[in-house]
Amino acid sequence: MIVSSALRRILPTLVTVAAMLVAAPTNAAPEDDRGAMVRMFQSRFPGVPLDDYVYGGLMFNAAARRHYEDIMAFPPFEPDLDRGKALWETPFRNGRTYADCLPDGGRMIAGRYPTYDAQAKRLVTFEMLLNDCRSNNGEAAYRFDDRDTMGVLTAYARSLSDGMRMDIRVDSPEALARYESGKALFHRRIGQMNFSCANCHVTNAGKIMRMETVSPALGQATHFPVFRGGDSLYTLHARYTRCMQQVRAQPFAMGSDAFNDLEYFHSYLSNGLPLKASVYRR
Ligand code: HEC
């Protein structure tokens, strides 16, 4: 076999890289991505504790943060949480409940989702898990874009995991493929404005845009749904939709594979950060 000298020079490297790809735990690449992002933000915003990234744009502004704490002491969206709790507690027609159906009764689990289900060969979000409970108990699934059902249900159900730390796993080649697809979406320039998620939430994080401080991607996935203006419920996919509309891109459907992949990558970035669902945003 004739091997060019250039190829001969890089061949040992190629072999080593191939061996690493086979041997390395699948989490390795995502862990590198997350570590790089944490280091980048920490050098750009020195002194901000990592846990403060869950406050999004509020982490840059002490007065806005106090205003947030005041609102959170008596949240105007309490009625929505009550409606979500009522849905959560109402038994299915067969008498079973979400708590019977979900792992650990649905407590301290939201931070593990999305997760890749190797048996079913699909990525499962927390909202899909809730819908699985419904389907498996003979009830119709909720629409992922329906604020009055899935919206308020997830606002309450996710709050049962408040304080848990995000713990997303990417532990198979199939899972990694979904993660990589989400990562590609995050970096792809879209819409008439030709912006990627990263252009705003990495490069321009901390800057003011449309009178709002742009939040860093790190920490964003920890606190959904949010109540914008105190009463307008946005699930994570609804927020993705809003951002895509802002750059005049055609949004993906809520609950679509594309948004699920994006959520997988996006949530992985927040690994280790504390969850707190249902918070106020401007
Ligand atoms: C043109 C800039 C821009 C682009 C592009 C953009 N966003 Fe946003 N995004 C914003 C602004 C402004 C806000 C409101 C202020 C904030 O909380 O960051 C926001 C808010 C968010 C929030 C809510 C943060 C919170 O704590 O409430 C999430 C999550 C988010 N964006 C994700 C994304 C994702 C994912 C993409 C890519 C599909 C994206 N954004 C694209 C500007 C952008």
For the annotated catalytic residues, the residue numbers are 243
Look at ligand 1, atom 17, and give the residue with the nearest C-alpha. 215
40 and 113 share one domain: no
User: Which residues neighbour 220 within 8 Å (Cβ) at sequence distance 6 or greater?
Assistant: 56, 201, 266, 269, 270
65 and 205 share one domain: yes
226 and 274 share one domain: yes
Q: pLDDT tens digits for 259-280?
A: 999 999 999 999 999 999 999 9
Phi, psi at 219, each rounded to 5°: 95, -15
pLDDT at 210: 84
Could you tell me if residue 13 is inside a domain?
A: no
Q: Mutation test of ligand 1: which of 194, 201, 218, 224 has the most ligand atoms closer than 8 Å to its C-beta? A: 201
Helix, strand, coil fractions of the chain, as percent rounded to 5: 55, 10, 35
pLDDT at 28: 81
- CB 117, CB 173: distance < 8 Å: no
48 HSE (CA, 13 A, CB side):
26
Among the candidates 134, 159, 184, a domain finishes at 159
pLDDT at 128: 98
Among the candidates 104, 130, 159, a domain finishes at 159
pLDDT at 27: 79
Could you tell me if residue 269 is inside a domain?
A: yes
- CB 238, CB 172: distance < 8 Å: no
60 and 191 share one domain: yes
Could you tell me if residue 106 is inside a domain?
A: yes
The residues facing 232 across adjacent strands are 228
pLDDT at 6: 57
258 and 237 share one domain: yes
Q: pLDDT tens digits for 27-85?
A: 789 999 999 999 999 999 999 999 999 999 999 999 999 999 999 999 999 999 999 99
Residues near ligand 1 (Cβ within 6 A): 56-57, 195, 197, 199-201, 209-210, 212, 214-215, 220, 226, 239-240, 243-244, 246-247, 262, 266, 281
Q: pLDDT tens digits for 91-110?
A: 999 999 999 999 999 999 99
- CB 279, CB 223: distance < 8 Å: yes
190 and 90 share one domain: no
58 and 183 share one domain: yes
Checking if the pLDDT of 19 tops 50, the result is no
Could you tell me if residue 194 is inside a domain?
A: yes
* Residue 40 identity (one-letter amino acid): M
176 and 64 share one domain: yes
149 and 263 share one domain: no
67 and 178 share one domain: yes
Could you tell me if residue 246 is inside a domain?
A: yes
Query: Which CATH number is 86's domain given?
Result: 1.10.760.10
- Residue 167 parent element (H or E): none
- Please give the number of the atom of ligand 1 that sits closest to the Cα of 279: 27
- Relative to beta strand 279-281, strand 226-228 is parallel
Total domains in the fold of the chain: 2
Q: pLDDT tens digits for 188-237?
A: 999 999 999 999 999 999 999 988 999 999 999 999 999 999 999 999 99
Among the candidates 159, 187, 205, a domain finishes at 159
Checking if the pLDDT of 142 tops 60, the result is yes
- CB 218, CB 269: distance < 8 Å: yes
Q: pLDDT tens digits for 235-263?
A: 999 999 999 999 999 999 999 999 999 99
* Structural domain range at position 139: 78-159
Identify the DSSP state of 192: T
Could you tell me if residue 206 is inside a domain?
A: yes
pLDDT at 1: 46
Checking if the pLDDT of 23 tops 50, the result is no
- CB 157, CB 106: distance < 8 Å: yes
110 and 241 share one domain: no
Q: Mutation test of ligand 1: which of 200, 208, 220, 263 has the most ligand atoms closer than 8 Å to its C-beta? A: 200
263 and 146 share one domain: no
- Please give the number of the atom of ligand 1 that sits closest to the Cα of 224: 27
- Please give the number of the atom of ligand 1 that sits closest to the Cα of 226: 27
Could you tell me if residue 2 is inside a domain?
A: no
- CB 158, CB 126: distance < 8 Å: yes
CA of 215 from ligand 1 middle (Å) equals 7
Q: Rounded to 10 degrees, what is the CA torsion of 130, 132, 137, 143?
A: 70
Checking if the pLDDT of 129 tops 80, the result is yes
Could you tell me if residue 111 is inside a domain?
A: yes
